[in-house]
Amino acid sequence: MATLKFKETSPYVQRQPEAPAEDYLYKKYLQNMAAQTTSIAPDDQVFNVAIFGLGRAGTIHLEHVVSNPRTKVVYIVDDVESKWEAIKQYWRLKDVTFLTSKQSDLVFKDSRVDIIVVASPTRTHEYIITKCLEAKKAVFCEKPIAEDDRSIMKCYDIAKKVGKPLFCAFNRRFDPSFIEVRNRIQRGEVGHVHVIKTTSRDSPLPTIEYLSTSGGIFHDCMVHDIDLMTWVLGEYPQKVSVGATAHIPEIKALNDFDTVVATLYFASGTLGQIDLSRNSNYGYDMRLEVFGPKGMVDASNEQPIHSVTRQNGLEGPQKTPIWYSFPSRFKLAYVTEFELFLDVVMGKKELPIKANDFIAINKIATACEESARTGKIITLNWKKEELPL
């Protein structure tokens, strides 16, 4: 009886709490629900999409294009013809035309095609982007846009000239945890950042075939960390000092590295550290930590089925492993980046990653590689117009 005085009125007559902002899945669910009553806006056309490359990245994007109410696949370009029939059956793509890269002119010339998704090997990006933009198609391209500054600039110049978006898919910018960290840093929750650290340890180890055409660990992998770090801070480094090793003989034979530690020195005094590996045997290790005089904000690893714990013998409580690889860890980020790209194509949103951003990231990656290869600290000079807004 002692607590009877606390008895509440019926929840039906009280204000119920709304879903917290952090519940991004519920937010998406509400958006889907709202579509039932508001119907699709008249300008929401369905875009015809051609996908170049159906390997690891291309398969992730195919799933989004197939399931997105705003898009329809019309072409798939990939040279491994033996895969075509199975892909057609699995994704129910009976109306989709499959082509080899030698036949890709058909895509460029087809005026029905609105959007190209480029998920082919990096060395093919520049040619595909150029042809598609010249044919006035919007381009969603896996990072990196191209292999060197001149080619990257050329692609962005064509995009500007023809007035079509060239979207560089830096998926980590669309991860809810990383967005949350950035928002908190930008609100000043830790004050002026003293140290920012990223840990990126890849899993599983990529194949040697992939690595031999990847462009190397700096332009293939580290660009993600550089983008994440500079996007969180809103600042580019003035100097970089990098150590790199190849523990794996097959990677050493490619004149590449599998392990890198980089220190980035920012003009404001912030120090950045990137810890990178091609081969983590305990899963896809992706962490971000930002430290300042007022505290620390971090995004640690996510685990699937994290609510389950087991105990056997005297080992103590055992949790499930972290996500195994990028398709699962960044599943939502890939969906969100593609949705945003569609909004950009429709003129509803601005490109989040512009020519200057990508060129700056490439310049920092090149400086990091030079530092690793020469053992020197490399200084970066920035013109005012190159710096982030």
Ligand X SMILES: NC(=O)c1ccc[n+]([C@@H]2O[C@H](COP(=O)([O-])OP(=O)(O)OC[C@H]3O[C@@H](n4cnc5c(N)ncnc54)[C@H](O)[C@@H]3O)[C@@H](O)[C@H]2O)c1
CB of 78 to ligand X, least distance (A): 5
Q: Tell me if 358 sits within 8 A of 145, measured CB to CB.
A: yes
Using rule CB under 6 A, residue 58 touches ligand X: yes
Residue 77 touches ligand X, criterion: CB under 6 A: yes
Q: Report helix, strand or coil for 245.
A: strand
- The answer to whether 357 contacts ligand X (rule: CB under 6 A) is no
Binding region for ligand X (CB under 6 A) out of 71-79, 147-155, 315-323, 357-365: 71-79
The site for ligand X, by CB under 6 A, has a size of: 24
Reference 78, options 47, 94, 56; nearest CA is 56
- Residue closer to ligand X, measured from CB, 119 or 222: 119
Measure the CA angle with vertex 383, ends 381 and 385; round to 5°.
145
Q: Is the CB of 186 or the CB of 213 nearer to ligand X?
A: 213
Q: Please tell me the distance from the alpha carbon of residue 226 to that of residue 236, in angstroms, as a whole number.
A: 9
Q: In the set 49, 50, 54, 138, which binds ligand X (CB under 6 A)?
A: 54
- Asked if 200 touches ligand X (CB under 6 A), the answer is no
Closer residue to ligand X in complex, CB, 190/201: 201
**Are residues 141 and 168 in contact, defined by beta-carbon separation less than 8 angstroms?**
yes
Q: What burial letters (b/e) apply to 279-296, b meaning 16+ CB within 10 Å?
A: ebeebbbbbbbbbbeeee
SS3 state of residue 103: helix
Beta strand ranges found along the chain (DSSP E): 47-52, 71-77, 97-99, 115-118, 138-142, 166-169, 195-201, 237-245, 259-266, 271-277, 285-292, 295-299, 309-310, 318-319, 378-379
Single residue of 47, 53, 286, 369 touching ligand X by CB under 6 A: 53
Give the shortest CB-325-to-ligand X separation in angstroms. Answer: 9
Among 28, 48, 55, 205, binds ligand X (CB under 6 A): 55
Place of tokens 């035309």: 97
Smallest gap from Cβ 165 to ligand X, in A, equals 18
Nearer to ligand X, 236 or 338 (CB): 338
Of 193 and 340, the one with the shorter C-beta distance to ligand X is: 340
Query: Could you say whether residue 173 binds ligand X (CB under 6 A)?
Result: no
CA angle (352 as vertex; 348, 358 as ends), nearest 5: 145
Q: In the complex, which residues of this chain contact ligand X (CB under 6 A)? A: 52-58, 77-80, 101, 119-122, 124, 142-143, 169, 171, 210, 220, 326
